[in-house]
Chain A
């Protein structure tokens, strides 16, 4: 596993992750089924709900800048 480099940035100094995941990863038929199911699973909505905030037109119209 490639752990020797700290990739502090995900952009301007990012490094391709070849070798980041162990090569010995096994994907048995049973694991394959679990992977399929993973793509039907949704994350906990609370962790991202801030990003679903609608634009507050009413208060925007009141304030001046």
Chain B
């Protein structure tokens, strides 16, 4: 029988902190270093915590083991407050507002510790580091707010859940799918499955004789089946170089297009050494600096992406990787991910990890069922339209005795309500009359649009956004259906109005003035 145990409040370095009695692993080194860099001082330990994910793992596997595993976990909450003890916690639980606010302000996240000696890290959500780089912000669209309830109070942390693979119920790719389905993009209508649910779903129709538990590994086909079983559509992308490796531009642009849309990216590939494959889940990236684009050329804004943040079950959450072009141990070159802590990490707190570079070969992404066009095709169409529009504008430039310019484009998927609200507010928020005019035109003059739209955005480097083109995501890639194009500049309209109206309507959709 379980017995009642008190909440414990101890210093992070106190031997009573449950982290300090775990076996030394890469995960422990990374998480400890991450928390130290966040300024952790104290921990609050719930010694009895029933974790939904572990209960599911227990029910599917550990309950039948002769080892007699308990079904209960510990949950550790981390704080950066100058002072924390039981009295402070009691005052917070009594809803003393100032104390509660301070607890929330200094809350860094939580770790569930499973009763599994070799893989103790269960569901873990840690706060992101403050983003100090305003020029190249961190894009963490898949993150969501998690609520932790302790004795009637609620603590909130923004992040996305990570856990360690246990190889009993979940392999690295299972954990990646599990993180993927935690995304903010899926908040509205879907329950988050446990890792046991994912492994069972992977075996439902693609098992081909392999046993379900213990689960050491899954094939890419099984992973996609698991995504389908949970009501989503799996999108797969293969590398474009020999050995199945990716070019830098394709890896960066594809990951960015999904991540901007709130979809984490499961990256399958191999380490730079012989052995089986590995999977990690990209959950964010740092926006690249603008690429140089020569006059008359069009560049892919996200093609220059350099930094990816991933959940790697071999390391931990929010792991920073640099994307580089490297040769593998066979001399074949492709995009590789190299673990690189950020510059602001204190050297003495940097985890010393022996981690070989990782070569991605396949991307798998769970998207909404109704999103049917591929990001690859959106990039191809975006490139083609940017080239044509740029070519047209440059004709007018040259005839007006002006120097021709280059153009940039970027793509993403977005829910239509979010485009109307957030996206248009970002770009037109300081012009309320134009914002209203644009929203009303989209609502009243454009035929009914799909719930998700593909957006191709075109800009001039070092200047501003010229045009958004909204694609129907419910049609086929081949049909290339567009709903509308939003024109942000009067002079662009001068150029576009020179196109025959039926052609303009077919290629760019209904024109909407946003100036």
How far apart are the CA atoms of A16 and B240 in the complex, in Å?
Answer: 35
Contact residues in B for A22 (Cβ distance below 8 Å): 397, 400, 402, 491
Contact: A63 with B277, CB < 8 Å?
Answer: yes
- Output the nearest chain A residue to B393 by Cβ-Cβ distance: A21
- B399 shortest CB reach to chain A, Å: 4
Q: Which residues in chain B, 241-264, are within 8 Å of chain A measured between CB atoms?
A: 244, 247, 249-250, 253, 260
Chain B 135-176 per-residue mask, 1 if CB under 8 angstroms from chain A, else 0:
111010000000000000000000000000000000111000
- Determine whether B320 belongs to the interface, using a CB cutoff of 8 Å to chain A: no
How far apart are the CA atoms of A52 and B242 in the complex, in Å?
Answer: 15
How far apart are the CA atoms of A26 and B491 in the complex, in Å?
Answer: 9
- Output the nearest chain B residue to A39 by Cβ-Cβ distance: B388
Q: Which residues in chain A, 1-28, are within 8 Å of chain B measured between CB atoms?
A: 1-3, 5-28
How far apart are the CA atoms of A61 and B236 in the complex, in Å?
Answer: 13
Contact: B239 with A36, CB < 8 Å?
Answer: no
Contact residues in A for B395 (Cβ distance below 8 Å): 31, 34-35, 38
B-side interface residues, number (CB < 8 Å): 86
A15-B465, A23-B491 known; A50-B388 Cβ under 8 A: no
How far apart are the CA atoms of A60 and B363 in the complex, in Å?
Answer: 10
How far apart are the CA atoms of A34 and B512 in the complex, in Å?
Answer: 23
- Determine whether B428 belongs to the interface, using a CB cutoff of 8 Å to chain A: yes
Chain A 42-62 per-residue mask, 1 if CB under 8 angstroms from chain B, else 0:
110001111111111001110
Q: Can you name 14 A-B residue pairings with CB atoms under 8 Å? A: A2-B463, A2-B464, A11-B412, A12-B426, A16-B434, A17-B465, A17-B488, A31-B399, A36-B500, A41-B388, A50-B249, A51-B379, A53-B237, A64-B217
| Contact surface of A with B, Cβ cutoff 8 Å | 1-3, 5-28, 30-32, 34-36, 38-39, 41-43, 47-56, 59-61, 63-65
| Contact surface of B with A, Cβ cutoff 8 Å | 135-137, 139, 171-173, 217-221, 223, 236-240, 244, 247, 249-250, 253, 260, 268, 270, 276-279, 287, 289-290, 298, 301, 361-362, 376-377, 379-380, 383-384, 387-389, 391-393, 395-397, 399-400, 402, 408, 410, 412, 423, 426-428, 431, 434, 457, 459-460, 462-466, 488-492, 494-495, 498-500, 503, 507, 514-515
